[in-house]
Structure 1
Amino acid sequence: MRSSLALIASAGLVAVVLSGCAAAPAPEAGAGRSSEAVVVKGDFGEAPRVEFPSPLAPEETQCTEIIAGEGELLVEGQQALVGLAVYNGTSGEELQVAGFKKDPVPLAVTAGTLPGLRKGLTCAREGSRVAVVVPAEDAFGDEGNTPLGIEPGDSLVFVLDVQRTFPSRAEGAVRLSRDGFPAVVLAPDGRPGITVPKSDPPEHVEVELLKEGAGPVVEDGDRVVVHYTGVLWDDNTVFDSSWETAEEGNQQPGPRILAVSTGEGAKVIPGFADALIGQTVGSQVGVIVPPSEGYGDQGNAQVPANSTLFFVIDILGVV
């Protein structure tokens, strides 16, 4: 369960529900003289040709939408797949261009993302091309990042093509779980709280549909966008959660993109894959995973040997 991107990942550049009517959050960055000075040419989805006067030194993060997108603005907790071009706003040097023609870059609107980049994402939506200019205090500050070509006090310029967006939580219809199954209560943001019953666990994988989505069916071999929390059956301890912790090689908590398959070469434990394959996007599932379909008699750093596990998994999309 891991993903990586050299510049962003290594440097950090990168259920009961209470609900009600609320206004959509306002973007955390708006247009200004610096972001308006960034000239971007080329078609959406293609590597852009970017020009701007340097140095750019905005007092706060600025964002200008160059190509208008559709739908709602990105909000906290959402995952997006983007084409990303990064420049040193002080020197004008190109730092990285990635994800335009293939292999879009996953970025989440979370506290773990570089502050200026996170603010810039909140002014974008699916189909948007935006120019984001970030002052040093929302980037690498007085320390800079010399290996990346960023000196102390340098500003940054991002050009982002938001190719796809995913919801921050499963949005399917709520289904009642059977008696004796672990209880799941959702916080307002969708984060699950789990209570495992004080009973012996089953010997086989058991899957319960907590919410039923109406999206595409997950097939063996798909790359799936998920949010999940896993607990140990014995003591209800959370041992892994995309809501709370960064995965290895990733600087930020947030939805994960996982290759879900069975058999040789599988990237996730069998019980996790069994819970997802055949389900629909927008669903939330709970799955009891016995040791034989989990980490077996070896365990790992977080999971003791011969542990039964319970996961709550939100299925947010198929890449």
Structure 2
Amino acid sequence: MSRRLRRLPVLLLPLLLGTTLVACGSDGGSDKDDTSSSDALHGIAITGDVGKAPKVKWDGKLDVSKTATTVVTKGDGDKIADGDQVAAHIWIGNGTTQKQAYSTYDSGQTETIPASADLNPVFKDAVLDQTVGSRVAVTATAKDAFGDSGNAQMGIGNKDTVLIVVDLIDVTTVLKGPDGKKQSAPSWAPGLVTDGDKVTGLDFKGTPEPNGKLRSATLIEGSGDAVKKGQTITVNYFGQVYDAKKPFDESYSKTPASFAIGVGGVVPGWDKTLVGVKVGSRVVLAIPPADGYGKKGNAQAGIKGTDTLYFVVDILAAS
């Protein structure tokens, strides 16, 4: 989802990792190293249990020129495949200063990583085809991990090196589309223009004008578990202002979006309606300004303060 749409779902991890986990580094600069595990870690000792903050003993300044991935502990859980949603703890250290730069263990909350071939190559080998319960270490240049500028927020310069430790805690399979029993659409809902499971448009012909109330209806009732407050859900969505000719945003032509629900990270209308919906469901929403962007609207998205937002949302996973 577009960055400009504040408090709408975004397919990015928190800002610290947003430029890390998408493929935005230098092309071809992070070829997988074929050295042994010992050589790949350059004498660094990583100890402690998977699921707890790693204890890292450095062996002087980390000097690397290309990326190497090492399985420190091999888990016996499910193998992670392209399209899965992975809950992982991530620890990052500056190889030049030998100091911690970032750790999800500080907050006690895992990151949700959409496993994909589009991951930055620095992370791809640490996630795809690994098994749940594993601890994987990556040594790389800051340029390969974060791009030409490094990551100033982490205190990592573009000439530094990094050690990244990834604990793979859990995995959830992401559905390809809605999966469940079809329900009758309510009279207030627009018609859907579809291409297979993909929503490509909303047809407002004959749709009554919005009445200022927050509305939701299930078009396909999934057979999965109900979404709980605070979970990370993965969705496809299509958003359009009432009677507009085109969407202001959608994910069906891109990739599904993952975000926490019920905790204020998205517009209130999403938090109020998507908690309790079963995985596999397709729902339609009508969100008045009070539960969307308020009286100011969102000029960057072309949304006025009087606009009612209509969404179709497919719940593909929750973890």
Same fold (TM over 0.5): yes
Q: How does 1:37-56 map to 2 (within 5 A)?
A: 38-51=44-57, 53=59, 54-56=61-63
- Of the candidates 83, 95, 101, which is equivalent to residue 95 of structure 1? 101
Instruction: Call closer, same or farther: CA 1:294–1:36 in 2, change over 3 Å.
Output: closer
1:158, distance to aligned residue in structure 2 (A): 0.8
Residue 286 of structure 1 deviates from its aligned partner by: 2.5
1:129-208 correspondence runs (5 A): 129-140=135-146, 142-145=148-151, 148-169=154-175, 173-176=179-182, 178=184, 181-183=190-192, 185=194, 192-201=199-208, 203=211, 205-208=215-218
Q: Return closer, same or farther for 1:100/1:123 CA change in 2, 3 Å cut-off.
A: farther
Partner deviation per Cα, 1:97-119 (whole Å, 9 max, x = no partner): 22377222333446886542244
Match of 2:281 in 1: 283
Rounded to whole Å, the distance in 2 between the matches of 1:153 and 1:243 is 38
CA–CA separation in structure 2 for the residues paired with 1:144 and 1:269: 32
Report what 2:314 is aligned to.
Answer: 314
Q: How far apart are the structure 2 equivalents of 1:186 and 1:274? A: 29
* Alignment counterpart, residue 214 of structure 1, candidates 224, 232, 236: 224
Q: Against the structure 1 CA distance between its residues 72 and 30, is the aligned structure 2 distance closer, same or farther, given a 3 Å change threshold?
A: farther
CA distance in 2, matches of 1:30, 1:74: 22
Contact 2:77 2:133 in 1 (8 A): yes
Long gaps (5+) in structure 2: 1-6, 22-30
Shift of 1:13: 2.8
Q: Which one of the candidate residues 222, 226, 234 is aligned to 1:226?
A: 234
Residue type at the aligned position of 1:225: I
Aligned residues: 288
RMSD of aligned Cα (Å): 3.9
In structure 1, list runs of 5 or more residues that go unmatched.
15-27, 246-251, 261-265
Could you tell me how far apart the structure 2 residues matched to 1:44 and 1:100 are?
15
Q: CA deviation at 1:276?
A: 1.7
Deviations 1:15-69 (A, max 9, x none): xxxxxxxxxxxxx968743546553211111111124544342534534252315
User: Counterpart of 1:238 in 2: which secondary structure?
Assistant: coil
1:238 aligned onto 2:247: yes
Report if the CA contact (8 A) 1:61-1:135 is conserved.
no
Q: 1:248 — aligned with what?
A: none
Distance, in Å, in 1 between the alignment partners of 2:248 and 2:238 is: 8
Quick one: distance in 2 between partners of 1:29 and 1:75?
A: 19
SS in 2 for 1:99: helix
For residues 219 and 40 of structure 2, the distance between their equivalents in structure 1, rounded to whole angstroms, comes to 46
Normalising by structure 2, report the TM-score: 0.70
